[in-house]
């Protein structure tokens, strides 16, 4: 009996190493950026299919100064843009999008900055853009994120209603060094929270999203001041309204871990409202809107949890983003201008 926990811990750590290339609970590391104070991926960190360059961005090193004529794409967002669940860099959706642009326009050069980092909200992405991404002179900025802002906004209301007590961490200190306990805490508690009764948070979706709307407009304005092409991507989730209730609870499990004061219907209302804001802001600011979030099937083959995508989901995400960019007049104008400049340089 005394040896059993040690044997179990060994098995769990072996599984973690085979799956992610590390025995740590978190399979990529963060550091505090000394300039912005943001929590960013550790520069130079490499483990399994994750490689962070020397500047703290997932992906290859970024050439500076930017070569003349090259089109640089910056992706802003959080963990759903970083794509830790991808099996390799090549299967992350930002990398796939840029590979698609290269295939569509082989006469031009493309590279990218993946500015996604776990936990980023809109305010973090704005600071990230202004201080870390803008110096790389992006020509195209693509934004994809909603869930972290939904967590922040609903938690604020839940605290006011006495339905939630804020804690610095969503897991105990024991989980920092005991991986088995961390996984039990993370996964078993998710299941238990799915079936929690009691009062749930009621909210007016339009009132809830007011702050998200304001923050998104600030980000879009900053992005448009720094790049000729800006795109907003609607947010994809595994939970769907046409699923039976038990399937909805399973698909919503990871989101309800962070928002236990909601239930699946209210959770879907929140995501739907934030996608409505994305659409409205794109329309009123002249930003490219990339739709099609429901073309990614809401199942465990495509989703690792409520919001994070596995390789098949990442491929479909890349397809819709790529198609949206290639069809957008603003992106076509950018490509035409770079092609004309390239031809003029050859004369």
Percentage of the chain surpassing pLDDT 70?
Answer: 83
- Residue 2 DSSP class: -
Q: How far apart are CA 269 and CA 329, in angstroms?
A: 32
117 cis-preceded (ω within 30 degrees of 0)? no
Q: Please choose, from the candidates 148, 141, 146, 149, the residue with its C-alpha nearest in 3D space to the C-alpha of residue 114.
A: 141
Residue-range domain boundaries for the chain: 31-346
Q: How far apart are CA 138 and CA 141, in angstroms?
A: 7
Taking each continuous run of H as one helix and of E as one strand, the counts in the chain are: 14, 9
For the domain made up of 31-346, the CATH class stated in words is alpha beta
Query: Average pLDDT of the chain?
Result: 90
| pTM for this prediction | 0.89
pLDDT of residue 29: 85
Q: For the segment 46-104, what is each residue's pLDDT rounded down to a tens digit? A: 888 899 999 999 999 999 999 999 999 999 999 999 999 999 999 999 999 999 999 99
In this structure, of 23-27, 73-77, 251-255, 264-268, the range with the lowest mean pLDDT score is 23-27
For 34-45, give one letter per residue: b (16+ CB within 10 A) or e. Answer: eeeebebbeeeb
75 within 8 A of 52, measured Cβ to Cβ: no
pLDDT of residue 52: 96
What are the distances in angstroms from CA 315 to CA 22, 303, 305, 320? Answer: 25, 12, 16, 9
For the residues of 207-231, what is the DSSP string, one character each? HHTHHHHHHHHHHHHHHHTT-SEEE
């Amino acid at each position: 009996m005394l040896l059993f926990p040690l044997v179990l811990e060994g098995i769990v750590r072996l599984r973690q190493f085979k799956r992610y290339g590390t025995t740590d609970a978190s399979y990529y590391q963060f550091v505090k950026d000394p300039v912005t104070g943001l929590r960013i991926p550790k520069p130079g960190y490499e483990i399994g299919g994750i490689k962070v360059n020397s500047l703290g961005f997932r992906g290859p090193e970024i050439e500076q100064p930017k070569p003349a004529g090259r089109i640089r794409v910056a992706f802003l967002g959080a963990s759903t843009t970083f794509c830790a669940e991808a099996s390799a860099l090549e299967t992350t959706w930002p990398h796939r999008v840029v590979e698609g642009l290269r295939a569509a326009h082989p006469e031009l050069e493309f590279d990218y900055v993946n500015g996604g980092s776990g936990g980023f909200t809109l305010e973090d992405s704005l600071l990230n853009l202004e201080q870390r991404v803008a110096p790389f002179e992006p020509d195209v900025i693509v934004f994809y994120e909603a869930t972290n802002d939904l967590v922040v906004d609903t938690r604020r209301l839940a605290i006011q209603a006495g339905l939630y007590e804020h804690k610095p961490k969503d897991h105990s200190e024991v989980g920092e060094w005991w991986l088995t306990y961390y996984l039990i805490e993370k996964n078993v508690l998710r299941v238990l929270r799915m079936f929690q009764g009691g009062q749930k948070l009621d909210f007016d979706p339009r009132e809830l999203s007011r702050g998200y709307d304001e923050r998104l407009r600030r980000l879009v304005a900053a992005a448009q001041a720094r790049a000729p092409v800006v795109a907003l991507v609607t947010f994809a989730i595994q939970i769907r309204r046409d699923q039976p209730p038990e399937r909805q609870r399973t698909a919503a499990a990871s989101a309800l871990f962070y928002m236990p004061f909601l239930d699946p219907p209210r959770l879907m209302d929140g995501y739907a409202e934030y996608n409505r804001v994305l659409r409205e802001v794109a329309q009123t600011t002249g930003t490219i809107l990339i739709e099609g979030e429901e073309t990614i099937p809401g199942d465990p083959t495509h989703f690792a949890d409520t919001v994070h995508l596995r390789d098949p989901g990442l491929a479909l995400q890349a397809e819709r983003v790529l198609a949206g960019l290639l069809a957008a007049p603003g992106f076509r104008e950018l490509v035409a201008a770079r092609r004309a400049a390239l031809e003029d340089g050859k004369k």
